[in-house]
Chain A
Amino acid sequence: METHETELDHKPVSKKLIGSKFSLGETIFSVIVYGTLIVFTFVCLFPFLNTLANAFSSSNAIQTGKVVLWPVQFQLDSIKMILADQSVIRSLLVTIYLTVVGTALNLVITVTTAYPLSRRDLKGRSVFMRFMVITMLFSGGMIPLFLLIKSLYLLNTLWALILPGLISAFNVIIMKSFFQAIPDELREASIVDGCGNMRYLLQIVLPLSGASLATIGLFYAVGHWNSYFGAVLYIDNQDLATLQVKLRNILLLAQMGTSIEQMSADSNFTVVQESLKAAVIVVATVPILIVYPFLQKYFVKGSMLGSVKG
């Protein structure tokens, strides 16, 4: 597959034809392209590295402005202080629970919605598609949804964060085009062998869909992991605060500059707000950074598929 692509690639051909490998214009062009990309890539990465460095640097080093990309006078106090906070651990557990349960339900419903829609022989599927796409174009907005959640007695439950986002029409469309790419002959062959719709879905389609399930799963999981506004809107109970809500509270407190310095003055920890803020951010992002490299190859493929055939 890879070699096939490079064979078709236009550039080697153009090089051969023109022989302009070292022309001045091409060189300037390359310098601009590489230069811009290096700068932009660095801009994407730099703030994260700086935050990471701050989280592990001593307060002295931060205050004297020595920390850039690498921890100076390495310390673990900030991270320890965050992890010593019971309520942070609690919100971490709430978020993990929400992410696991929410993503699992999202995936089940997305598959059960996308699969029938991928079947060209299903009557009425275009009606359903329209029924679904309308919801992407127009919505009731924040207040009516809030009142609905309230009247369903879902306020202050994690269901308020799971149910309204159970299906993303966009992800259903991506999943549907993936299913459509599976050759129909496969289904015809299994029908001949006496395989019904459900069995075909469970035993043939799903095992073939690992990559796109991983992609869509990642999208949903990141959504749950990052869920903030829904939690602010529907949940008052501090025991159910998600990690992002907790993070936001700590960041805001630090911004106002009161209690955290109080906290660190009271305890044995010697950290400044900046280091502490950075530490909270690190705790909230590390799980994403851990799964990210493993899923990356899938999500690029998966989302390209959705976008081209959408």
Chain B
Amino acid sequence: MKEQAVNRISASGAAKIALKEWKKNYALYLLLLPAIAFFIIFAYIPMGGLIIAFKDYNIFTGIWASDWAGLANFKEMFSIPEFFRITRNTLLLNILGLLVGFPAPIILALMLNEIRSKYFKKISQSLLYLPHFMSWIVLGGIVYAVLSPKYGIVNEIMRWIGMNEFYFMADKTSWVIVYTLSAVWQSAGWGTIIYLAAITAIDPSLYEAASIDGAGRLRKIISVTIPSIMPTIIILFILAVGNMVSIGIEQPLALANAVVGDVSDVISTYVYRVGIKQGDFALTTAVGMVQSVINLFLILTANHFAKKAGGESLW
């Protein structure tokens, strides 16, 4: 009814309504102005800056005056020898991260939910959240210190039980494992918050019904808790898939070293090294753009399938 009425009013009527709305809420619109300016300047202008990827960028003439290069930068991208390597590493580290890192907070949250001792639960949670608040520089420093072959505690323990010392951070395979597990260390505890919140919202009568049917605690987790938090799991999974290609830069930077460059060099570190350090802006913008586009594609695809499969989606 109301919408129909709005549709029927004339242009001058619309202007009148807009004026009335403005008079009533002008303060709110003014409050939004800084945010609008912010997003235009620091989000949308850089998106426009992607135009560099299609230009033969010259620092001295600027973005607009530089010559168009068509797809030359993208062609060059495929011909650089590191391209295969950085793509492989980015995918490898991300897929491993998703396989190990995604279920970890779910399992932790399910376990925390079974704890009856309030104190144990509280203390455990506080400590699980802690690494999330440390920078990767600190965490990387700690990882290197703990795994150091000479003084590190892990090698010390290995010596006690009669094993040879091992330089974890200088071996490609163990570096990848350490990379994956350190990410779990940093974020799994923090990730439980969201699942615990979802678990709190489950209707207790479901558990009562399950008890009457003779379900034990494990059965209840499988048949009640997990299905009930499935929507949350799916949404977070979509988000995780959407970030598949966009590996952050701080973790690789903090953990990388010269010996394992072969597996630690990812798209973002490459863009930083070649783009910022060596000044090849056009090529690295193209590389970064491919990363952003693949991310967007992944998140839209994951969202689409999630919607089809279970009706859950981000929007």
Contacts and interface: CB of A to CB of B under 8 A. Distances in A.
Interface in A192-222: 196-198, 222
Interface stretch (B83-91, B93-101, B171-179, B206-214): B206-214
Contact of B196 (A33, A51, A304): A304
B145 A304 contact: no
Interface stretch (A75-83, A86-94, A108-116, A259-267): A108-116
Interface residues of B, number: 103
Contacts, number: 281
Interface centre among A121, A145, A233, A272 (most CB of B within 10 A): A145
A199 to B, nearest CB: 9
B111 A36 contact: yes
Contacts of A296: 126, 129
B70 interface: no
B117 to A, nearest CB: 9
Nearest to A198: B27
Contacts of B112: 37
- Chain B facing A: main interface SS: helix
B130 A138 contact: no
Given A142-B268, A142-B288, A25 B111 contact: no
A143 B288 contact: yes
B137 A139 contact: no
A163 B42 CA distance: 8
A140 B130 contact: no
B124 A119 contact: no
A138 B216 contact: no
A68 interface: yes
Contacts of A62: 151
A308 interface: yes
Contacts of B148: 274
B52 A44 contact: no
Contact of A228 (B124, B128, B135, B272): B135
B29 A135 contact: no
Contacts of A68: 153
A3 interface: no
A300 B141 contact: no
B299 interface: yes
B49 A140 contact: yes
Nearest to B169: A255
B217 A272 contact: no
B77 interface: no
B273 to A, nearest CB: 11
B106 interface: no
B130 A292 contact: yes
B216 A9 contact: no
Contacts of A36: 111
A131 B232 CA distance: 24
Interface in B156-206: 156, 159, 185, 188-189, 193-194, 196-198, 200-201, 204, 206
Given A14-B207, A115-B28, A143-B281, 8 more contacts: A14-B211, A18-B214, A23-B216, A29-B217, A140-B49, A148-B41, A228-B137, A247-B141
Q: Which 9 residue pairs across A and B have the least CB separation, nearest first?
A: A144-B49, A140-B46, A10-B207, A226-B135, A141-B288, A135-B43, A304-B197, A116-B28, A113-B35
16 contacts: A29-B216, A33-B114, A38-B124, A41-B123, A48-B130, A116-B28, A117-B32, A135-B43, A141-B271, A144-B45, A147-B52, A167-B38, A228-B135, A229-B249, A281-B138, A284-B135
Interface of A: 8-11, 13-14, 17-18, 20, 23, 25-26, 29-30, 33-34, 36-38, 40-41, 43-45, 47-48, 50-51, 54, 62-63, 65, 67-68, 109, 112-113, 115-117, 119, 121-123, 128, 131-133, 135, 137-148, 163-164, 166-167, 172, 196-198, 222, 225-229, 233, 244, 247-248, 251, 255, 272, 274, 277-278, 280-281, 284-285, 288, 292-293, 296, 300, 303-304, 307-308
